[in-house]
A and B are shown apart, each in its own frame.
Chain A
């Protein structure tokens, strides 16, 4: 390590170093080189992903702000908008789970209030190795407690999320945090610098040595030496962030600033460069004026520190004093550390002395872009050709259902979400676990918004194109199951090393699948984050795109959850019967296999189903609604029963002589609803009008889960037993 040239130690290639020399017409000094290294890291510069990300649809009448700002902004009517984004904090969480996850929350929350929006909800998407591994338990417990510790203190409810456990994430967990804010459209703030000569103020926490080169750390594979990079992990102070939220929202609402930018990856370097670059401005920053937490910090450390809870703001003329007063009320510093210039240069000064000087555009717009080569991996065709009908059919389906209910990927996540305050702000109408998405009311209106986060890495691994589609479709379907109209999405793309052709092939195909679905379902991509290099010892995680989606309910009263509500209601399947088992939890749990052809999505049908769901919920024709996903129809029905505390009897038909396909297929575009008997005809007619198959499966009632196939009872489990297996699996594993 020590023998490497300094640019390589900072993460730049020889070629990139030559580019820096060429741009500057000289050798960079140590500070300048560090600035290039962080800004040209994948994390900041998207140098491997940019050409592919262009495939995403990003526009629509509902989009107020697409990618390129701190977060995306979508119109929800009445002069209001939601602001949202998801971001990864994988590598810090692998090394220091509590702080890694906590600062992940802190970072994404800053992205939201930087835009003038009040953060109103947090979500998260987590992936770990198998739960029987002691280190996995340590990481899982630490991450959950870090998310709660930070989010609870801020008073932002954590309303939804997902957790999966798969071998591929053992060494490299995924921690993706999403935040959603609400803003009056006319109070929206952007990350722009003001007029030439405007001062730049640094507000919030003092600057320390933490997190130096965090962006570079995030852009390489984890290795044995990663633990030595613990200093690259930041430490969070949620109390400071809470004060910062209140102070920043006040100065933005009072119209005191041109723009604001949070200090995240690559600290002051990145935020100042981003602000200046939007309007082709330059910046001058005096490192001696930056308030510090530690003595003896070098200019290099000050410029690259990733100390949390800091913001850079550009005040309007004459407002500095008022801004100082507001920050003082909250006990915070607000210090002028530099100014906006007209020469397009990023100039770092140390008092009167110029310590470094590089063109802003060189850091931002001139970041090299790589068109990586792609190659289809050999595994892809092998898995596609696997035929599950060659497997022996289980003899005891009662046992299979019990095993699936106990799988941590399916079991209740209560152990997780009860550690999060999901009700603060008094907006949460559908709480975690109750529905396919969280539903929040919007105070002062009759409206609601629905929020979800989804991604099935196993399906994407087996078939990136179809898996990418599935991720977008499931998110949209989850929203529609609460009665919401899906509006737009944000994504966090967690992949391995893009320099490897097989990984890049996964990446590109996934994006193509996601883009096709997002276009067809009219849910454009308004923000996102790419996390590459999720590998340990050369092994990549499953390609895991995580989709965060936001929808709107015109009438909050007409929202829906998954619980069965009345004995005697008819259980109706909307969508096709489905028997494909590729990539299913059933194959993994019962047969120990991650294989098979991933079910295909018909996007036209998906779109019609989404419309149908919104319609039947708005008209009050169904009493519950739940989408079929992990564990198939068998688990979807069990979940409706457990949540509703009432049993059911269903009559199914075998397919090709087997029962496992119909019970456990995870084929998409399918939903189970419960319908009052007298409304059955109406529901069936509407389904037919939408060209969606609909069939009555059975009836709600009793205290047992009874599944009959071809008239023969093959599962009969007491509701109490199902509830206790499903409810206790994760808690048991963790105690």
Chain B
């Protein structure tokens, strides 16, 4: 399985994702520079965390207009697996691949800590190795992770079981309905604020994140697409 890690100017978790895919999952991986216009040949795409374009204007806003993005959107619309982590989630929102928007944390501070997440559905390519209701521990590190959507979108997310991860109390950023991660209706695009790549190795104190990335591999290899 071949992963592509999209690198925007200011991405800073690109190397971390690359490392986990290659060294921990043992899968093939390449960087995709934001100036590319094709993502042909990849089986899954990672939009990594960081501060693309310095978070200037609005987080993810400028990156969503990068030359590579039309091909990412097309890849997603054809059913390809896309995971956006932290800044990557923000970019997916700005690009319209996921509904809603991101506000500043309610504390108005950047927050870095390990939080507990509840897996709301195992019925996605990103959680098929986890169980619904399972509690996992995953680090967060963001200043704008306060997910917001209106009532109607929230209803839809709930109805379609698009909410994948929620924060257990205490919610670290004030997000609507404790949302930490959501998928699109087709379930092939995941955006999540916590960083699974930071907890995929025992030496770093936890391996829960491994199962999120490994789910993608399992789903793909079992012919999910």
Contacts and interface: CB of A to CB of B under 8 A. Distances in A.
B112 A417 contact: yes
A426 B201 contact: yes
Given A238-B51, A239-B53, A428-B204, A152 B20 contact: no
A238 B54 contact: yes
Given A153-B10, A239-B53, A239-B56, A421 B112 contact: yes
Given A148-B110, A424-B141, A426-B20, A239 B10 contact: yes
B40 interface: no
Given A153-B51, A429-B203, A330 B110 contact: no
B141 A421 contact: yes
A237 B9 CA distance: 13
Interface residues of B, number: 31
A232 interface: no
B208 interface: no
A557 B205 CA distance: 11
B112 A239 contact: no
Interface in B39-78: 49-51, 53-56
Contacts of B158: none
A238 B49 CA distance: 16
Contacts of A239: 9-10, 51, 53-56
A423 B139 contact: yes
Contacts of B12: 153-155, 242, 424
Contacts of B56: 239
Contacts of A240: 54
A319 interface: no
A51 interface: no
Interface string B175-188: 00000000000000
Given A419-B109, A425-B15, A429-B205, A152 B51 contact: yes
A53 B66 CA distance: 51
B203 A557 contact: yes
Contacts of B53: 239
A556 interface: yes
A166 to B, nearest CB: 25
A242 B10 contact: yes
Interface in A234-257: 237-240, 242-243
Nearest to B9: A243
Nearest to B15: A425
B54 A426 contact: no
Interface in A462-487: none
Contacts of B113: 418
Interface string A441-461: 101000000000000000000
B201 A422 contact: no
A237 B54 contact: yes
Nearest to B139: A423
B94 to A, nearest CB: 17
B141 A152 contact: yes
Contact of B16 (A154, A426, A429, A441): A426
Interface string A648-670: 00000000000000000000000
A238 B55 CA distance: 10
B212 interface: no
Nearest to B20: A426
Interface string A135-158: 000000000010011001111000
Contacts of A329: 35
Contacts of A331: 9
Nearest to A331: B9
Nearest to B12: A155
A418 B112 contact: yes
B83 to A, nearest CB: 16
A420 interface: yes
A424 B141 CA distance: 9
A633 B88 CA distance: 46
A424 B110 contact: no
Interface string B1-22: 0000000011011011001100
Interface of A: 145, 148-149, 152-155, 237-240, 242-243, 329-331, 417-426, 428-429, 431, 441, 443, 556-557
- A-B complex: 6 closest residue pairs judged by Cβ atoms: A155-B12, A239-B54, A421-B141, A153-B51, A426-B16, A421-B112
Given A426-B16, A426-B201, 18 more contacts: A152-B112, A152-B141, A153-B12, A155-B12, A155-B50, A155-B51, A242-B10, A242-B51, A242-B54, A243-B9, A331-B9, A417-B112, A419-B109, A420-B110, A424-B16, A425-B16, A426-B197, A441-B204
26 contacts: A145-B110, A148-B110, A149-B110, A153-B54, A154-B12, A155-B13, A239-B51, A239-B56, A242-B12, A242-B51, A242-B54, A243-B9, A330-B9, A331-B9, A419-B110, A421-B112, A421-B141, A422-B112, A423-B139, A424-B13, A425-B15, A425-B16, A426-B16, A428-B204, A429-B205, A556-B203
